[in-house]
Amino acid sequence: MQGVSQIKLRAGGGFASNNDSLDVTQYSEEEIHDAVGAAEDWGTYVTVHAYTPRAIERAIAAGVKCIHHSQLADEPTARLMAEKGIWWSLQPFLDDEDAVPFPEGSANRQKQLQMTSGTENVYKLAINARSKLHGERMHSLRARLTVRQGKQLAKMMRWYTPAQVLKMATADNAELLAMSGPRNPYPGKPGVVGEGALADLLLVDGDPLANLRLIEDPDKNFVVIMKDGKLYKNLLPREA
C-alpha cells in the first residue's frame, strides 16, 4: 500500500540489535515461504538480512532472491548461492573509522567484531564461487555514512578492480532492481547510457577506472550530477 518495491526480512540476528545474537535464526522456512509468495503475488521478491549459513540456507530454500550481509557464510553456502543464482548484497564492513562506535566491551561491540572479522573471508568466498554481487548502498544506523558512500565503495578495491566495483554499483544494481518487475520504482532503463534510459549521470573530473578514489570526494570531483535528465550540479565552464 505504501509503494515498496521489495520486502526485506530479518532471517537472523544483527550486531546493532540489542535483543538477539548473530548466531540466531529467525522465521521458519514456512513463514519465509509465505512472505515470498505474498511478494510474488505483487510481482516482486523478498530479500533477507542474514549472517550465518543456517539463516542463509533456510532463506534460499524458502525462495528468497537476495541475501544481505552474510559475513559469517562458509564455502558450501557460497557455492549454493552461486548455483541457485542468488544475489549477494555484501558491504565492506570493517573495524575502521566508519564502524558504528559501540562502547568497548559491550555486547554490540563484541558482535560487531565477530561480524567484521568475517568480511575479508566472505568476499574471497564470493569471488571464488563467482557469485552474483551488487554494490548496495552502505546502510547504517548512523546517517553519517550516507555522505561517505564513495569512500565505502572505494574500499571494495581490496577485492575488485575499479571497473568491477563501478559495474556492481551501476549495471548490476540496475539488474537487481529490475527483478521487482511492475513494482520497480525506476521504470525507465536503469544502469545503461542510451536512448530511453533514465539519464542519471555523473561526470567525474578524472578517470575513475584508473583512480577510483576520485569518488571519495564528490564535492570536488563530481563536476556534473544529472538525475532523470535534470541537472542538479554543473561546474563545467559555459562556452563563450
Q: What is the 3-state secondary structure (H, E, C) of 155-181?
A: HHHHCCCHHHHHHHHHHHHHHHHHCCH
Domains and CATH numbers, the chain: 7-188 (3.20.20.140), 199-240 (no CATH)
Strand partners for 233: 225
**Cβ 56 vs Cβ 16: under 8 Å:** no
Lowest mean pLDDT among 76-85, 135-144, 165-174, 197-206: 135-144
Residues 103-115 have pLDDT tens digits of: 999 999 999 999 9
DSSP H helix total and E strand total for the chain: 9, 8
Residues 42-56 have pLDDT tens digits of: 999 999 999 999 999
Give the model's pLDDT for residue 189: 86
Give the model's pLDDT for residue 28: 98
Compute the chain's Rg from CA coordinates.
19
Q: Is the backbone of residue 39 left (phi > 0), alpha (psi -120 to 50) or beta?
A: alpha
DSSP state at residue 239: P
**What does the mean pLDDT of the chain come to?**
90
Q: 60 in helix, strand or coil?
A: helix
Backbone angles phi, psi at 17, to 5 degrees: -80, 140
Give the model's pLDDT for residue 141: 44
145 falls in which pLDDT band (50, 70, 90)?
A: low
| pLDDT over 70, % of the chain | 93
Residue 217 is which amino acid?
D
Residues 1-38 have pLDDT tens digits of: 788 888 999 999 999 988 899 999 999 999 999 999 99
Evaluate if residue 239 carries a pLDDT over 80.
no
Q: Round to whole Å and give the CA distance between 115 and 135.
A: 19
Q: Round to whole Å and give the CA distance between 100 and 4.
A: 27
162: Cβ–Cβ under 8 A, 6 or more apart, which residues? 208, 209, 210, 211, 212
